Structure 1
Amino acid sequence: MGITSAWSISAHDDAFIGTLAPRLLPLIAAERGEPFARERWERWRREPLPDFRTWWRPFGRSDRGEADALGSFHELTASGEHVQKMYDGLYPEDDFSLLTDVWDLVDGVEEIFLSVQSKEFALRSFFHAIGPDRAALLPGWCGNFLLTSAEVRRTLPAVERALAFTPEERAAAEDQDWLDYGDGEESVLDGPLRMWRQAAADGRGLCGASVVVY
């Protein structure tokens, strides 16, 4: 049975970011602190994956080392059990839900970047497309973050370095982003930087979450 996942980046006032902080920040820290999390991250940095079209080779032709590296990357970029609680409403102290208490409060499409994917994780394609050196410039952990307006402004230069491309670099990144986009759907290569710039200009904070919807 497949899954449907979502990666969201939403803009909020600092007061709301403050209400999220005691709930979300410990969960992000728990994701980062998982026993194999740093090991998987460092492996990806040491061994960036090749063209995604080479990942699925005929049976018997796959190199074991490549298969292990791919499996490690898939685990790294999948939704973790801790932040998932924010969507499922399973936060230990209350029934706070990412769906009803964060996403449903967003007023307009300009205040959120949301990529919903069937049988895939948007963050996985995004990370592969930009590579580990650029991904290392992004705050938080594997698409999950919570930033005040001051932190948004402070991190904007690094995010711009991560997501600003020459025409040749952009073409290469697009070639390694395997997601299919419908009419008007925002690319993972565009949405995050748009949200950062807009939030910095508006004096707002940001909440990022990568989760399994169902």
Structure 2
Amino acid sequence: MGIISAWSITCHEDSVIADLTPRLAPAIEADRTCPRAGRRWAAWQRAPLPDHRTWWTGATAEQADAIRSFQDLTGPGSHVDDLCNGITDPDFHIADDIWEPEPDREEMFVSVRSKEYPVSALFHAIGPERASQLPGWCGNFLLASAEVRRALPGVERALGFGPGERERVGRRDWLEYGSGEESVLDGPLRVWRTAARAGLGLCGVAVHVY
């Protein structure tokens, strides 16, 4: 059976962010400080990957290792994944504790994929320099409203594109989108601006959906 993954960014009142913090913040930090994760991040920073259409066409063993390292880096982190699926804490689950009650659509970005990871597609498209300006760790973050406002300029630099640049970056996003489906290049910045305007916090989580 193939994997199904989801990356969501949801707006919440600061009181909800405070309630989520004792469980979710340590899980994000545990994934960020994992020694393997640090090595994978450093390797990608040193040597960004070429166009994804060339990855499996005559790749050397070293190139294949780099691709797998990047995929492991940008896939769901084990601590956040286990928490959000009720494995490490049976009383916590993404559907009940983060997605319910469901925010207004304007206050939520969700990308659900079969056999793909949305954060991987985004990070490959924008590259390591822009990705390093995004708060949190590989799509996972928990920010109160004041932190959202402080982070917005960096997010604007990471995800704000001119017309020609947007087209170029878009070619590095390998996800396919249906009619009306929001791109990983557009949705995160939109919802970030929405939260900043409304004085709301943000919760970002990348997980497997079982």
Q: Give the conservation status (yes or no) of the 8 Å contact 2:109–2:191.
A: yes
| Residue 127 (structure 1) aligned with residue 123 (structure 2) | yes
How far is the alpha carbon of 1:183 from its aligned partner? 1.0
Give the number of aligned pairs: 210
Contact 1:135/1:162 (8 A) holds in 2: yes
Post-superposition offset of 1:3: 0.3
Matched with 1:56 is 56
Whole-Å separation in 2 of the counterparts to 1:124 and 1:111? 23
Secondary structure of 2:34's aligned partner? coil
Instruction: Structure 2 unaligned segments of length 5 or more: list them.
Output: none
Distance 1:6 1:107 in 2: 16
Counterpart for residue 25 of structure 2? 25
CA contact (8 A) 1:21 1:146 kept: yes
State the 1:106 CA deviation.
Answer: 2.0
Query: 2:136 matched to which residue of 1?
Result: 140
Task: Please say if 1:71 is aligned against 2:68.
Answer: yes
Give the match's secondary structure for 1:36: helix
Is structure 2 residue 209 aligned with structure 1 residue 213?
Answer: yes
The one-character-per-residue Cα deviations of 1:131-155 (angstroms, maximum 9, x if unpaired) are 0000000000000000000000000
In the other structure, the counterpart of 1:188 is 184
Please give the alpha-carbon distance, in whole angstroms, between the structure 2 residues aligned to 1:167 and 1:207.
29
**Long gaps (5+) in structure 1:** none
Question: Which of the residues 72, 79, 83 maps onto 2:80?
Answer: 83
Name the residue aligned to 2:170: 174
Distance in 2, matches of 1:82 and 1:4, equals: 17
TM-score by length of 2: 0.97
Contact 1:11 1:207 in 2 (8 A): yes
The TM-score, its normalising length taken from structure 1, stands at 0.95
Q: Is 1:42 aligned with 2:45?
A: no
Residue 128 of structure 1: CA displacement? 0.3
92, 97, 114: which one aligns with 1:96? 92
Amino acid at match of 2:148: V
- Mapped partners of 1:99, 1:44: distance in 2: 32
Distance 1:102 1:71 in 2: 30
Deviation sequence 1:83-105 (CA, Å, 0-9, x none): 0123211344x511111121121
1:12 corresponding residue in structure 2 = 12
